[in-house]
Amino acid sequence: MNPPRRIAVAGASGRMGRMLIEAVIASPDCVLVGALERPGSPALGQDAAAFLGQASGIVIADELGGGLAAADVLIDFTRPEATLEHVRACGERGVQLVIGTTGFDAAGKAAIAAAAERIAIVMSPNMSVGVNVVLKLIADAARALREGYDIEIIEAHHRHKVDAPSGTALKMGEVIADALGRELARCAVYGREGMTGERDPQTIGFATLRGGDIVGDHTVLFAGIGERIEISHKASSRATYAQGSLRAARFLATRQSGLYGMSDVLAVAAH
């Protein structure tokens, strides 16, 4: 029997961090060994499982060395600047990473790719199994509907999300553009206002909605003449992201280095 995966969680007092901690504690093959928060967080010093009415024995800390000391892998759904600091610390300590953070610029992505030469990393804008199946479906649909269909990507998230479009929506755009032999940077339209003129059939449009407590809704619309096809995924709980993250952490147990996506974890080809 393989030893349990020793997991540390970044952003431990946030919505996603708490869902991850609950999933790790409930998992028979994972154990919580670290819980990290930003300096000054009111959660510092608290037991990581206090919100569950339990005592895990793991205290939420802001010191990376202590928080990562016993970890095999850090799961990080925070913000780009924090994640990049965690990437540096994990690279120095040989700790693997599961990254669900979105909103990285080109330099941030390059830093993560460089770290993956030393440690194994799974990075995905969406850890949901269902979303990664949808990526396969929309690639197939894009190839079949390449002529005569306009493509729009609509996403909705809670009011607290700070980046737009979502990382998942951008990934959908990249998958579709790749399937069509286009570059997303050249064909993406991120907003429309005023006299825009007729729609360019070569573009891929994005629409972003923010409000309430929406966990995450994504729809790809293929609009033709006389018909339209919609491929949607709607998340009702962050639990789906947490379970996908644990699958990623298990996947890394047999990897020494490299940058992987959820298509590797799930063996689902995205294109």
Which one is catalytic: 86, 109, 136, 157? 157
Instruction: Give the other-Cβ count within 10 Å of 156's Cβ.
Output: 20
User: 63 and 91 in contact (C-beta within 8 Å)?
Assistant: no
pLDDT tens, the chain, 271 aa long: 689 999 999 999 999 999 999 999 999 999 999 999 999 999 999 999 999 999 999 999 999 999 999 999 999 999 999 999 999 999 999 999 999 998 899 999 999 999 999 999 999 988 988 998 999 999 999 999 999 999 999 999 999 998 999 999 999 999 999 999 999 999 999 989 999 999 999 999 999 999 999 999 999 999 999 999 999 999 998 899 999 999 999 999 999 999 999 989 988 444 3
Q: What per-residue confidence (pLDDT) applies to 126?
A: 87
Between CA 74 and CA 72, with CA 56 as vertex, the angle to 5 degrees is 25
Q: Quick check: helix, strand or coil at residue 53?
A: coil
Phi, psi for residue 222 in degrees, rounded to 5:
-105, 105
Which one is catalytic: 158, 160, 161, 233? 161
Distance, in Å, from the CA atom of 88 to the CA atom of 112, rounded to the nearest integer, reads: 9
Q: What per-residue confidence (pLDDT) applies to 103?
A: 87
User: 79 and 105 in contact (C-beta within 8 Å)?
Assistant: no
User: 119 and 92 in contact (C-beta within 8 Å)?
Assistant: no
> Bridge-partner residues for 79, per DSSP?
none
The string over 44-78, giving b where at least 16 C-beta atoms fall within 10 Å of a residue's C-beta and e elsewhere, is: bebbbbeeeeeebebbbbeebeebbeebbbbbbbb
Q: Is residue 161 among the annotated active site residues?
A: yes
Tokens encoding 143: 């190839």
Distance, in Å, from the CA atom of 37 to the CA atom of 114, rounded to the nearest integer, reads: 25
Q: What per-residue confidence (pLDDT) applies to 21?
A: 98
Domains of the chain, CATH where assigned: 5-123+238-266 (3.40.50.720), 129-235 (3.30.360.10)
Burial of 103 (0-12, 13-18, 19+ CB in 10 A): middle
Instruction: Give the other-Cβ count within 10 Å of 79's Cβ.
Output: 17
DSSP 27: -
Q: What per-residue confidence (pLDDT) applies to 271?
A: 38
What is the number of helices (H) and of strands (E) in the chain? 9, 11
Q: Which of 139, 125, 141, 150 is nearest to 235 (CA)?
A: 125
Q: Is residue 157 among the annotated active site residues?
A: yes
Distance, in Å, from the CA atom of 70 to the CA atom of 88, rounded to the nearest integer, reads: 17
Q: What per-residue confidence (pLDDT) applies to 71?
A: 98
